[in-house]
Amino acid sequence: MINLSKRLFLLLSAATLLLASCTESVAPIHVGTQIRIVDPGTISELEDAFNRYSYDISQLHAGVPPLIFASLPSELSTLNSSSRKKSIFVQALLPMILLANQEIAEERADLLNLQGLLVNNQTLEEAQLHRLSTLQQRYAVKGEPTASKTLAQLHRRIDQVPAELALAQAANESAWGTSRFSQLGNNLFGEWTFTPGTGIIPEGRPEGATYEVKRFNTLYDSIRSYLRNLNTHSAYADFRQLRTAARERGETPNGISLAEGLTKYSTRREAYVLDLQNLIRQNKLQRYTQVQLRQG
């Protein structure tokens, strides 16, 4: 059972998530989605949550419930069955990836609406200009808000990351949720911080290096940060260009193709990309590409 302090933490987390925070790292959640936040201490508690919300990873035609898991149980690393560990990991992360992508989809819809108004020579109202400015800040785009160059850059950046690619990178970087950083810091994607004392110092860090591995309050925070990283960091411009090119061809961007733009995510470069592509194929992660969140 969750103790009183844990319950208070979860209630405060839910309030924070639902109150449309506008910091750089935290985007507002769509208020129409009834999100449940769960902090499972054991695999049994995690699977109980799956059952409680009728969530079966092999039966996704009815959609995925909007669940946020604060952390993954430490006993995940003790499972002897690799297939069960992978299934639990994917089932836990999929709702959060879909939720984070839903936020981006709504931001993209706002952007396209504002672009449409400008194309039709309509003057944006103050609230609309503020929205455009907020998107600029969140996606690290400089320039005059209504300038064509600014809008084009926003268009490339405000877009979703295919679920199969996010799952593959999370699996690779966190060893299917069992790594030290995923367990101690809810860090699924190996993201760094250069603010001393705010993260976890990696073992074997070179002398003189100051980077630490980021800590996140919840797994969902890690997923949001990862998506923002791919959508804003200069190292992933190729990734964004591949995604934009697919859109322009009328295609739905897919993880295997977009992985080609992530050579700078790891010092292993092309070998890292091949690992991601093999993870997607071998674990049949493409099946989660078109899965939708349940509404209501």
The correct CATH number of 4-288 out of 3.90.1150.10, 3.30.450.40, 1.10.530.10, 2.40.30.30 is 1.10.530.10
Q: Model confidence at 28, in pLDDT bands (50, 70, 90)?
A: very low
What is the CA 60 to chain-centroid distance, rounded? 20
Q: Which residue type does 214 have?
A: K
> Which pLDDT does position 27 carry in this prediction?
43
Name the nearest CA neighbour of 280 among 289, 291, 271: 289
Q: What pLDDT is stored for residue 31 in this prediction?
A: 45
Q: What are residue 68's DSSP bridge partners?
A: 37
Average pLDDT over residues 88-97: 98
Task: Give residue 33's pLDDT band: very low, low, confident or very high (50, 70, 90).
Answer: low
Label residue 6 by pLDDT band (50, 70, 90).
very low
For the chain, what are the domain ranges? Answer: 4-288
Query: pLDDT tens digits for 234-284?
Result: 999 999 999 999 999 999 999 999 999 999 999 999 999 999 999 999 999
Residue 249 · residue 229 · CB < 8 Å: no
Q: Average pLDDT, stretch 4-29?
A: 42
Q: What is the mean pLDDT of the chain?
A: 90
Res 130 pLDDT > 90? yes
At residue 4, does pLDDT exceed 60? no
What is the pLDDT, as a whole number, of residue 198?
86
Average pLDDT over residues 210-233: 96
Residue of 67 and 30 predicted with greater confidence: 67
CA-nearest of 26, 24, 53, 23 to 40 is 53
Note the pLDDT of residue 74: 95
Residue 30 has pLDDT above 90, yes or no: no
pLDDT tops 80 at residue 23: no
Amino acid at 8: L
pLDDT of residue 106: 96
Distance CA 35, CA 223 (A): 16
Render pLDDT for 151-208 as a digit per residue (tens, 0 to 9).
999 999 999 999 999 999 999 999 999 999 999 999 999 998 988 888 888 888 898 8
